[in-house]
Structure 1
Amino acid sequence: MRKQHIAIVGYGTAGQALALLLSRDGHAVEVFERAPQLGPVGAGFLLQPTGLQVLWELGLLEAALAHGRRVRRLYGETPCGRAVMDMRYARLDVGLFGLGMQRGALFALLADAWPGRTEVRQGVSIEEVEEDTRWLRDHTGARHGPYDLIIAADGSASRLRRHTGAVRLDAPYPWGALWCLVPQGEWPWPDELRQRYVAARKMIGMLPVGTRPDDGTPRLSFFWSLPTATFEQWHGQGVEGWRREVAAIWPGIEAQLAGLVEPAQLARASYREAALTRWSRGRLVMAGDAAHSMSPQLGQGVNMALMDALALRDALRAETEVEAALARYQREREAHVRIYQFWSRWLTPIFQSEHDWIAHARDVAFLPLGRLPWGSRHMLRVLSGTQHGVFGKLPLQPAFLQALAGLG
């Protein structure tokens, strides 16, 4: 394909990776970001082998491993110590692991790798795509374009999703979370994601996420699940009583939460589920959460964004016409995305809902299912991002696995 003039709307993970990949291929890239200043949104996340493979393609794997923390086990239990979930990557492949990272660390790695970051159009909120899908309009009414390709990577609350004319589902989840980073200190599980559940009504999580370039203090990403409708009520009650409640559910966590003294220290996160019957129209295409937002229960958002970026880059390399490339991109990603949307939809009420009977069934059945050979491998493929369709497996490149082993 000849070199294209490409607009990218949004400078989150998908937008960052796309700007880097497409500019390296010689395309003229122009990025719009509605925030007045560039920066990460959120505390921490778990990067799976599929996402790590994209960072390897970008030449950023070694830097990511230097800042992140290898997570080899996911363990969840009730307050009385009854195990609910116990998944170890080694049961799938001894060389695999997840990587807990601060969003600030990944943001910095991707931004520093792209010289064009200094020219991102900050504080420009793109509101419209014109009918011919070659021009954009911002919040002031100003036009931008024409472009050969417009990539909407503007997140789960995308303003541009509707311009595909193919929105099948776009709805908020009733449950969200409070997030923050806390010092790791003497945390006893530095290579595990640990969770505690009170039925499905309350969930606490602690994920080791390492350091970032401007802060060498190892940290944990803490989250507390709650309905979005109660955000204001929680804020008004103050932190002291809430910290006592958390400590009652998880004794021993007090040292990590000692620095939390006011509600503003915890960020609020809300989520949406969005699904499209078609990811593109004309020269407009969706990527990342704008294309397929889902619950965070499977922790695949960042991985999906990175995989979308690489697949779109490859599709543009493989086809001579933009429309053909966009169709190829959707074919390459759709089977993978759909299975994760399915599992996300069905798993969310098991961990975030007011249905106690569902949580009881989870507590009884989830761990034994995970110990069966077929159950364990299936769960681990879903976790690691390597499930493809109902029965398929998304292979990881041998050269990537060798690189991972060499840096491990």
Structure 2
Amino acid sequence: MSRPILHIAIVGWGSAGQAAALMLSDDGHRVEVFERAAAPGPVGAGFLLQPTGLGVLHEIGLLSQALAHGAPVLRLHGDTPSGRTVMDMAYADLDPGLYGLGMQRGALFEILRAAWQGRGSLHTGQAVTAVEAEQGRLRTADGAWHGPYDLIITADGAASALRTALGAATVDRPYPWGALWCLLPLAGWQHGGELRQRYRAARKMIGLLPVGTRPGDPVPRLSFFWSLPVGEFEATQSGAAGSFAAEVESLWPEAAAVLKALPEPGRLARASYRDAVLGCWHRGRLVAIGDAAHAMSPQLGQGVNMALLDAWALRQALRAETQLPSALARYERERRAHVGIYHFWSRWLTPLFQSAHDRLAAVRDLAFAPMGRLPFGRGHMLRVLTGTQHGVLGRLPLTPGLREALAAGRAPQDEARSA
């Protein structure tokens, strides 16, 4: 069965767009990318690659590069200032061969950029304002129409400008809470293999995630984030640096050594989030991937992982089907079956961690740790954490050879720590 070679336009040069461009170019398709930024670069805080996302990188031959820069994360631990453990999950409790990988967005951006370089066309400074889904054409902000293309992939993120071309969304709303973030030196932090979080009710949350290095910067770093309502960004960032630092350190005095490197609040980057559920992910020659298809709260930390899985599933669907409508339907069907449970849990969990509902937070503090010690509850929590939960009871199989590749990638870092 011969597969047709397609002329494909991708809108957006984030993780989803980069991964799709690389995989589809590898399959011989002619790919053009339209990116609104004049000088594309990584946007956002550090993130945690789960075994699902790591499996995609393994499949496309980029896992070793990711492991060279990322920081293995073996455990997620969250507690309150009084020392009450709210969450404590170790990857080894699900599978001794698994772990997460903390990464800087700049590292993954450069790895994907270098792998795709020379394989297609990247049009920078070209914001796409409209698409004709049936004709396969797109219009840029200068009024010019481009195409027709056999396929247009919208990968323009949670605030997608093209999502409406797929029809009315079931849900499409911003979250009232976001985060301020920055990168800090890892030196002096004693929990280098863990994602650590500190909560005060659901109103205050600090996170510290080891994210390794990036090309051009060999210094290991931590991703710091401070949760707060979006409406408080301005006041927090215009306030006195001393009062912000004092508030952060009072919430987490044990982390004072690394938190002393925090910049003044006005220099922290902003992150805001969106909840989007589409009625249909494709229409005509247009299909959505990544946050453009299924934006959700960052509580489950699945954004980049889902983007990689979407790009992989779309590639596989185009390989399996000779007709574009059948391929897009197959892609949507397979990814919806995986994404749905994460939309459900992110919607229910977000008020427990980012809200003014003190009573809900009190219930969380009392119930989460005991639930996590129950066999079913712990297994379910770990599968959701690792991205391997598929539906209510199913499991997403791991990529063949991933455990061995992860063990080989971690060995040099273990040797360096023991030396």
Provide the TM-score with structure 2 as the length reference.
0.96
The code of the aligned residue for 2:231 comes to: A
Query: Aligned partners of 2:195 and 2:72: how far apart in 1?
Result: 10
**Does 2:47 align with 1:45?**
yes
Match of 1:173 among 167, 172, 175: 175
CA change 1:133–1:267 in 2 (3 A) is farther
Equivalence for 2:417: none
Q: CA deviation at 1:133?
A: 4.0
Is the Cα–Cα contact under 8 Å of residues 133 and 284 in structure 1 kept in the other structure? Answer: no
The code of the aligned residue for 1:333 comes to: R
Equivalence for 1:399: 401
The code of the aligned residue for 2:5 comes to: K
* 1:182-209, Cα deviation, whole Å (9 max, x unpaired): 0001200000000000000000000000
Q: CA deviation at 1:243?
A: 0.4
The code of the aligned residue for 1:139 comes to: A
Q: CA deviation at 1:80?
A: 1.1
Equivalence for 1:161: 163
Query: Aligned partners of 1:218 and 1:131: how far apart in 2?
Result: 44
The code of the aligned residue for 2:194 comes to: E
Is the Cα–Cα contact under 8 Å of residues 133 and 281 in structure 1 kept in the other structure? Answer: no
Match of 1:256 among 255, 258, 281: 258
Match of 1:199 among 198, 201, 206: 201
Equivalence for 1:359: 361
SS of residue paired to 1:6: strand
Equivalence for 1:138: 140
Query: Aligned partners of 1:320 and 1:166: how far apart in 2?
Result: 28
The code of the aligned residue for 1:343 comes to: W
Equivalence for 1:88: 90
* 1:326-370, Cα deviation, whole Å (9 max, x unpaired): 000011111110100000000000000000000000000000000
Gap runs ≥5 in structure 2: 411-419
Is the Cα–Cα contact under 8 Å of residues 77 and 196 in structure 1 kept in the other structure? Answer: yes
The code of the aligned residue for 1:34 comes to: R
Equivalence for 2:415: none
SS of residue paired to 2:183: strand
Query: Aligned partners of 2:263 and 2:389: how far apart in 1?
Result: 42
Equivalence for 1:10: 12
Query: Aligned partners of 2:78 and 2:289: how far apart in 1?
Result: 32
Match of 1:370 among 345, 369, 372: 372
Query: Aligned partners of 1:400 and 1:231: how far apart in 2?
Result: 41
Query: Aligned partners of 2:19 and 2:139: how far apart in 1?
Result: 24
Q: How does 1:154-303 map to 2 (within 5 A)?
A: 154-303=156-305
Q: CA deviation at 1:118?
A: 8.0
* 1:362-408, Cα deviation, whole Å (9 max, x unpaired): 00000000011111111000000000001111011332223223333
Is the Cα–Cα contact under 8 Å of residues 240 and 261 in structure 1 kept in the other structure? Answer: no
Query: Aligned partners of 1:133 and 1:211: how far apart in 2?
Result: 44
Q: How does 1:378-393 map to 2 (within 5 A)?
A: 378-393=380-395
Q: CA deviation at 1:130?
A: 1.8
Q: Comparing 315-324 with 115-124, which one deviates more in the overlay? A: 115-124
The code of the aligned residue for 1:175 comes to: W
Equivalence for 1:106: 108
Q: CA deviation at 1:66?
A: 1.0
Query: Aligned partners of 1:41 and 1:306: how far apart in 2?
Result: 16
Query: Aligned partners of 1:405 and 1:237: how far apart in 2?
Result: 46
Is the Cα–Cα contact under 8 Å of residues 3 and 27 in structure 1 kept in the other structure? Answer: yes
Is the Cα–Cα contact under 8 Å of residues 84 and 362 in structure 1 kept in the other structure? Answer: yes
Equivalence for 1:332: 334
The code of the aligned residue for 1:201 comes to: R
Among all aligned residue pairs of Structure 1 and Structure 2, give the percentage whose two residues are the same amino acid: 64
The code of the aligned residue for 2:34 comes to: F
* 1:108-164, Cα deviation, whole Å (9 max, x unpaired): 000000123784111100010025241000111110111000000000000000000
Q: How does 1:18-57 map to 2 (within 5 A)?
A: 18-57=20-59
Query: Aligned partners of 1:361 and 1:133: how far apart in 2?
Result: 53
* 1:28-69, Cα deviation, whole Å (9 max, x unpaired): 000000011110001200000000000001111111111101
Equivalence for 1:150: 152
Structure 1 residue ranges, 4+ long, deviating more than 6 angstroms after superposition: none
* 1:71-102, Cα deviation, whole Å (9 max, x unpaired): 00100000011111000000000000010000
Provide the TM-score with structure 1 as the length reference.
0.98
Query: Aligned partners of 2:304 and 2:44: how far apart in 1?
Result: 11
Query: Aligned partners of 1:155 and 1:239: how far apart in 2?
Result: 32
RMSD of aligned Cα (Å): 1.1
Is the Cα–Cα contact under 8 Å of residues 32 and 120 in structure 2 kept in the other structure? Answer: no
The code of the aligned residue for 1:121 comes to: H
Query: Aligned partners of 1:301 and 1:347: how far apart in 2?
Result: 16
The code of the aligned residue for 1:259 comes to: A
Is the Cα–Cα contact under 8 Å of residues 21 and 31 in structure 2 kept in the other structure? Answer: yes
